[in-house]
Structure 1
Amino acid sequence: MPSQLGENAAIVTLWFVNASDPQSIIRSEPRADRGYGRKLLAQLNPSWPITPIGQFDLNRSVPASANEFYIAGFPGITVIQTVLEDVTSLSKLSPRLLRSVPATDIYIFAVNEETTLGGFAHIFKGDVKRSFIAFEERIFEDDGIPGGFEAPFWAGKKGTRKTALSLPFNPIELVNEAQRAWLGFDASTSPDINVVAYAIDGRPEPRIAAPRQLSSEEVTRAAVEKLGLRESSFYDDYEEYEAPDRVVSKNVTSKAKKAASSAQKLGKSLWKASREFKDTMAEKLRHTDRER
């Protein structure tokens, strides 16, 4: 399967951090705000046609594709994930992107699994403290003082070397280690990181199909199955206990009537729940584009 990314392209995730303990914020599993991401993108480029395309957990979904942004704004933390076409220098990313959110610390992580391109950078109060990005066999950028977490990789004690001429590790392995060291947690196994996804290529917003209203026959059938009854059981049981045993047949008939009454009540409840669910979904669709 051909790569969906160019050779020097990568999925780039930026963490704008003002919080002293990012891990505690992520652990609380806050929910992203649709309006926050829309406003942020409008500031990045007012001409973009911004379309919300979903809301889900960043670490439980496929990464962003071209012309997509996954965004979350939490107290003290903003997360932006997108695809950039040329990321051979993380320290020279678009100034507009790097300044889009005021932050004391900016952590950048870039990966392309198919080409082994991997990189990470730390910008503190506007100064680049560390920036590294490479293929397994070619280093594009290696600025700043390596962090302590890097030492075992450079020493060949940790990581996977592909050939004798390649780095002693896969750059993506070092990216994952940088995430753990700088953020204080492993983003791939952390509690859910809720984000809102946006497209900037003019595609229409996906619509949620309203649930189909059940017919009265389907509601009754579902009620009967819920009670574990067969539709013909009322009559079969009656025929099984015909006269002369009038007492037995009377009891069976009484039980059948009670069961039928229960099925009817359950059927009405299911029909009512179906209508309420449909009305709720319709209301959500009317308000889905409104900012909270």
Structure 2
Amino acid sequence: MPSTVSSLWYIDAPDPVAVLRDHPGPDPEAAWALARQLNPERDVVPAASGTLKVWAGPDPESIYIGCYPGVTVVCSTQAALPRPTELPELLVRPLASEHTYLIAYDLSLGWGAFAQWERGEFRRSFSSTRVNILEDQGLPRVWERPHWAGEYPIELEPGEMADPQMLPFDPPDFADAANQEWLGFRYRGKFSEDALTPDQIAVCGFSLFPKGQAPALDAVPVPAVTERTTGKRGLFGWLRGRDRVS
């Protein structure tokens, strides 16, 4: 499971997990176009691609995108916000999608966050460490109740003392529960035997460079094709003229 996640989801499909199951490979052309749209002040170059198991929480100089019919995921450090309501407007609704979801966590910090927009209008956000709520805006959703009621308490390590101000849930788990509610899968473990897992969701990778400092495209190695992306025109082979774009 990923130790860090910083993802944005743009959803129009009524059943996102069904789309992700039925379409094993993302659209690389759409992903590259969106990467450039979201980074107008950077040069964007195709890089190694893979799945959300590895790339859900990329470094600041990378972005990973999976474009599927009615479902788009963007993995970027720009989503790792202590206050999700500060998400730049460009990232709230770049595709005029019906739903926008932010899911982020860092296990090493015990931090988790989530947020929800409907047609670009803010609805709900939450962000906290185990003892400090950083943001809590909008009306809590029904699915949150068991967490606030203490049904999913923090599991302490042997010898670890509980802080008296500790929340009744682990923030990364809370963020992951939001992901399950909105998108139908968990980053951290499976909630059923046939559940979709991050290693089954492919994304296209891109490196970000200051304007004018990107290497020539011919010098960029062809990204490896993962099992989930086989058959999608060799991922970025079309950029070299190896496949014609119709």
| 1:185 aligned residue | 185
Q: Which residue of the other structure, out of 22, 27, 43, is the alignment partner of 1:28?
A: 22
Q: 1:195 aligns with which of 191, 203, 211?
A: 203
Secondary structure at the aligned position of 1:50 is classed as strand
The match for 1:207 among 193, 217, 221 is 221
* 2:40 pairs with 1:46: yes
SS in 2 for 1:63: coil
Query: Any conservation in 2 of the 1:29–1:194 contact (CA below 8 Å)?
Result: no
Unaligned runs of 5+ in 1: 1-9, 210-279
Partner of 1:84: helix, strand, or coil? helix
Output the TM-score relative to the length of structure 2.
0.75
- In structure 2, what is the Cα distance between the partners aligned to 1:11 and 1:139? 19
1:15·1:106 contact (CA, 8 Å) conserved in 2? yes
The TM-score normalised by the length of structure 1 is 0.64
Give 3-state SS (helix, strand or coil) of 1:49's partner.
strand
2:231 matched residue in structure 1: none
* Ranges in structure 2 where 5+ consecutive residues have no aligned partner: 156-161, 191-195, 224-233
CA–CA distance in structure 2, aligned partners of residues 290 and 42 of structure 1? 21
Bigger fraction of residues in strand: 2
Query: Which one of the candidate residues 67, 74, 77 is aligned to 1:73?
Result: 67
Q: Which residue of 1 aligns with 2:149?
A: 155
Q: Which has the larger radius of gyration?
A: 1
Match of 1:179, as an amino acid?
N
Higher mean alpha-carbon deviation, 193-202 vs 16-25, is at 193-202
Offset at 1:207?
2.5
Alignment equivalent of 1:93, drawn from 76, 87, 94: 87
The 8 Å contact of residues 28 and 67 in structure 2, kept in 1 or not, is answered as no
The one-letter code matched in structure 2 to 1:196 is C
Partner of 2:227: none
Match of 1:164 in 2: 164
Q: How many residue pairs were aligned?
A: 211
Higher RCO (CA 8 Å, separation ≥ 6 residues): 2
Alpha-carbon distance, 1:101 to partner: 1.7
Amino acid at match of 1:169: F
SS at match of 2:127: strand
Amino acid at match of 1:195: V
Cα RMSD (Å) = 2.8
Matches within 5 A, 1:121-140: 121-140=115-134
CA-CA distance at 1:61 after TM superposition: 5.1
Aligned to 1:241: none
Whichever structure has more helix as a proportion of its residues is: 1
Q: Please say if residues 26 and 204 of structure 2, whose CA atoms lie closer than 8 Å, have aligned partners that are also in contact.
A: yes
Shift of the alpha carbon at 1:81? 0.5
How many angstroms apart in 1 are the aligned matches of 2:12 and 2:95? 10
How much has 1:124 moved relative to structure 2?
Answer: 0.9
Deviation at 1:291, TM superposition (A): 6.0
